[in-house]
């Protein structure tokens, strides 16, 4: 399953991609740029795990555009200024060539030859328009960039100056926004805006970007992108991406996608595959991951059980701590995550080398933390909150608040997350919480969580490993600033947690560099543990990077790290490294 994904809808599973592959293979042979004769299948890359239904639109502004929230396919068409490299935490040039950091500003130099698909040059006007648009329309998902900026201005046609906020400077988050904001062609979007008062709902079904691919077609069965052979980036990289066509079949669930992958009908994908090592160890298939052994993937994100702190019962921090003690984290790691994760801890810090200096073992593992301990959960509820179980086995607090009925949801088809939710629900019921499970379609879950229209949900927080973590993880879980009221879309703090201690600590950490960030982030971690508005259930790869070399070969690995194992940011480089067999 995907990091930013929207998942699942129609189609009849592997049969559809099988038919697509058969059709591609049956086409007449045609020549590639090197003069070799290749079949259509050898020039078509099949990908999976990002799209689980046809996008409702192709508008980068829309919070419900499936391909936008995934991000991964979007950069085939639109591009960001820089791409984050997971391997060394560097910023790789995309539409920009250079970043100059000053104490109060960032100066970005643009690629001199960058062009839109309609042939017009990419200029500073486009960058300024893209950021200013999100300043005017607060529901655009990169509008949070303006929490840390005072202005974005054109210096000349190929130079843009980002002035950091005088009151809330945050170099890390600003770098992240330079890597995550897709630049739009202002000469087109100004016209779109004038004709579409509600520009966020604009269909944009013929997107014009600056990237190496263009949208060819889409329907309930698949999305098709074709290489743009006049792509400006050929002059920078010295070549075009290897696949002439990229096809994303739409599967009904992980199982259908995994079957197609095992058959070699999907070349590379980003979705949960249980015990993938058996494909090469037992079935001897030409399948691989970044690492050939445990944990197989690089950790990079932290899916969270998000609790709506505006709901009765869930608004009590002691109840939330009790819930945290009810969850069997080891079982989730072993079964739901298929050993791709260690058991989750009572912290917003990843247990990785890159975040090691923020890790406080005594606090996280000590009495202030939590672990699977139903007896401790009962002690909190009964001794601290005066709770008693009724004849139905469900707790009612001393103030009369009953623990439930609540619903825990996560998107249908996300089999690893569904398995984790089922474990949580089983644990909660056994402990005395009235809770049921619901697996709606992803395009239903996403707005519900963003709008606060839910009880509990297993969902992504926005922050994954990038230039701003772990700071951004604390912002995404704890910071009420920039979070809209219930009923309005918000892109972080989905639980609407509010604590006056958070803002000054976050601001101190934002301005700090190096070891100076450690103390305020450790203090924020303590606040998190007092009554967690979100509970980490697992550690997950930034992307499940899984490839089948039946048709294509040369995918980077830890032994051959030509590109990071992601489908976003600098990860797009692997499209230039692969080749057909």
pLDDT of residue 311: 97
> Cβ(56)–Cβ(443) under 8 Å?
yes
pLDDT of residue 141: 82
- The Cα 581–Cα 560 span in angstroms is 18
CATH of domain 14-73+211-294+544-580: 3.40.190.10
Domains 14-73+211-294+544-580 and 82-191 belong to one CATH topology: no
Cβ neighbours of residue 447 closer than 8 Å, sequence gap 6 or more = 63, 64, 453, 489
The angle, 0 to 180 degrees and rounded to 10, between the axes of the packed helices 124-136 and 186-195 is: 30
Q: Model pTM? A: 0.76
pLDDT of residue 11: 36
Site of tokens 């559809």 = 16
> Cβ(493)–Cβ(519) under 8 Å?
no
Q: Quickly list H helices, 452-572.
A: 471-478, 502-511, 518-530
pLDDT of residue 54: 78
- The Cα 233–Cα 137 span in angstroms is 31
> Cβ(164)–Cβ(106) under 8 Å?
yes
How crowded is the C-beta side of 89, counted as CA atoms within 13 Å?
12
Q: Is the peptide bond before 295 cis (omega within 30 degrees of 0)?
A: yes
406-409 and 435-438: which strand pairing?
parallel
Cβ neighbours of residue 194 closer than 8 Å, sequence gap 6 or more = none
pLDDT of residue 56: 78
Considering the four listed CATH numbers 3.60.110.10, 1.10.260.40, 3.90.76.10, 3.40.50.300, the one that applies to the domain covering 82-191 is: 3.90.76.10
Alpha-carbon distances of 174 from 152, 179, 248, 468, 542, rounded to whole Å: 11, 9, 32, 8, 20
pLDDT of residue 462: 61
pLDDT of residue 29: 39
pLDDT of residue 263: 97
Domain ranges of the chain: 14-73+211-294+544-580, 82-191, 299-541
- The H or E element spanning position 187 is helix 186-195
Cβ neighbours of residue 210 closer than 8 Å, sequence gap 6 or more = 78, 79, 95, 114, 115, 116, 117, 122, 183, 185, 232
pLDDT of residue 350: 87
For 160, the 3-state DSSP assignment is strand
Q: What is the DSSP string of 265-313?
A: S-SEE-S--TTTHHHHHTS--SEEESSSSTT-S-EEE--EEEE-TTSTT
Cβ neighbours of residue 15 closer than 8 Å, sequence gap 6 or more = none
Q: Identify which of 561, 545, 557, 556 has the alpha carbon closest to the alpha carbon of residue 578.
A: 556
Q: Which CATH class is domain 299-541?
A: alpha beta
Cβ neighbours of residue 26 closer than 8 Å, sequence gap 6 or more = none
- The Cα 231–Cα 321 span in angstroms is 53
Residues of the chain with pLDDT under 70: 1-36, 63-72, 462-465
Q: Identify which of 298, 247, 326 has the alpha carbon closest to the alpha carbon of residue 25.
A: 247
- What are the tens digits of pLDDT across the range 122-149? 999 999 999 999 999 988 889 989 989 9
406-409 and 456-459: which strand pairing?
parallel
**Number of residues written out for the chain:** 581
Q: Phi/psi of residue 453, each to 5°?
A: -95, 65
- The Cα 454–Cα 581 span in angstroms is 48
DSSP conformation class of 51: B
Q: Identify which of 124, 171, 184, 122 has the alpha carbon closest to the alpha carbon of residue 145.
A: 171
């Amino acid at each position: 399953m995907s990091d930013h994904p929207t998942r699942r809808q129609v189609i009849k599973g592997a049969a559809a991609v099988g038919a697509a592959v058969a059709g591609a293979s049956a086409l007449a042979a045609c020549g590639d740029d090197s003069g070799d004769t290749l079949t259509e299948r050898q020039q078509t890359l099949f990908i999976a795990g990002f799209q689980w239904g046809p996008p409702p639109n192709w508008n980068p502004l829309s919070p419900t555009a499936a391909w936008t929230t995934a991000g991964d396919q979007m950069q085939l068409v639109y591009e960001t200024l820089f791409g984050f490299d997971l391997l060394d935490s560097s910023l790789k040039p995309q539409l920009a060539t250079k970043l100059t950091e000053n104490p109060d500003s960032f100066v970005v130099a643009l690629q001199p030859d960058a062009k839109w698909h309609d042939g017009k040059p990419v200029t500073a006007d486009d960058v300024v328009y893209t950021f200013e648009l999100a300043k005017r329309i607060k529901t655009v998902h990169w509008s949070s960039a303006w929490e840390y900026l005072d202005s974005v201005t054109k210096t000349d046609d190929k130079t843009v100056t980002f002035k950091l906020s005088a009151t809330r400077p945050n170099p890390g988050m600003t770098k992240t926004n330079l890597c995550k904001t897709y630049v739009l062609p202002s000469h087109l979007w100004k016209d779109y805006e004038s004709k579409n008062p509600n520009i966020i709902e604009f269909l944009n079904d013929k997107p014009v970007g600056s990237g190496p691919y263009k949208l060819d077609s889409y329907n309930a069965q698949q999305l098709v992108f074709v290489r743009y052979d006049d792509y400006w980036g050929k002059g920078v990289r010295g070549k075009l991406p290897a696949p002439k066509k990229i096809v994303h079949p739409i599967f009904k669930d992980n199982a259908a996608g995994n079957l197609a992958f095992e058959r070699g009908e999907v070349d590379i994908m980003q979705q949960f595959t249980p015990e993938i090592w058996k494909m090469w160890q037992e079935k001897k298939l030409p399948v691989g991951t970044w690492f050939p052994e445990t944990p197989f993937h690089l950790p990079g994100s932290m899916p969270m059980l998000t609790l709506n702190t505006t709901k009765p019962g869930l608004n009590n921090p002691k109840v939330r701590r009790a819930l945290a003690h009810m969850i069997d984290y080891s079982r989730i790691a072993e079964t739901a995550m298929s050993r791709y994760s260690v058991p989750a801890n009572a912290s917003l810090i990843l247990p990785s080398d890159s975040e090691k200096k923020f890790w406080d073992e005594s606090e996280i593992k000590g009495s202030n933390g939590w672990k699977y301990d139903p007896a401790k959960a009962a002690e909190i509820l009964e001794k601290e909150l005066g709770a008693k179980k009724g004849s139905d086995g469900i707790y009612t607090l001393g103030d009369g608040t009953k623990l439930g009925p609540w619903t825990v949801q996560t998107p249908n088809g996300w089999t690893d997350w569904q398995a984790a939710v089922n474990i949580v629900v089983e644990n909660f019921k056994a402990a005395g919480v009235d809770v049921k499970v619901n697996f709606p379609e992803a395009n239903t879950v996403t707005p519900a969580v963003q709008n606060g229209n839910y009880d509990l949900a297993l969902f992504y927080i926005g922050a994954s490993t990038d230039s701003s973590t772990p700071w951004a993880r604390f912002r995404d879980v704890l910071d009420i600033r920039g979070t809209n009221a219930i009923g309005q879309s918000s892109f972080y703090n989905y639980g609407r947690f509010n604590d006056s201690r958070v803002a000054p600590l976050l601001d101190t950490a934002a301005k700090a560099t190096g070891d100076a960030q450690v103390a305020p982030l450790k203090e924020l971690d303590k606040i998190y543990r007092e009554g967690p508005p979100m509970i980490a259930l697992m550690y997950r790869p930034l992307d499940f990077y899984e490839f089948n070399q039946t048709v294509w070969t040369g995918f980077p690995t830890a032994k051959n790290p030509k590109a990071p194992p992601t489908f976003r940011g600098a990860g797009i480089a692997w499209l230039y490294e692969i080749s057909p067999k």
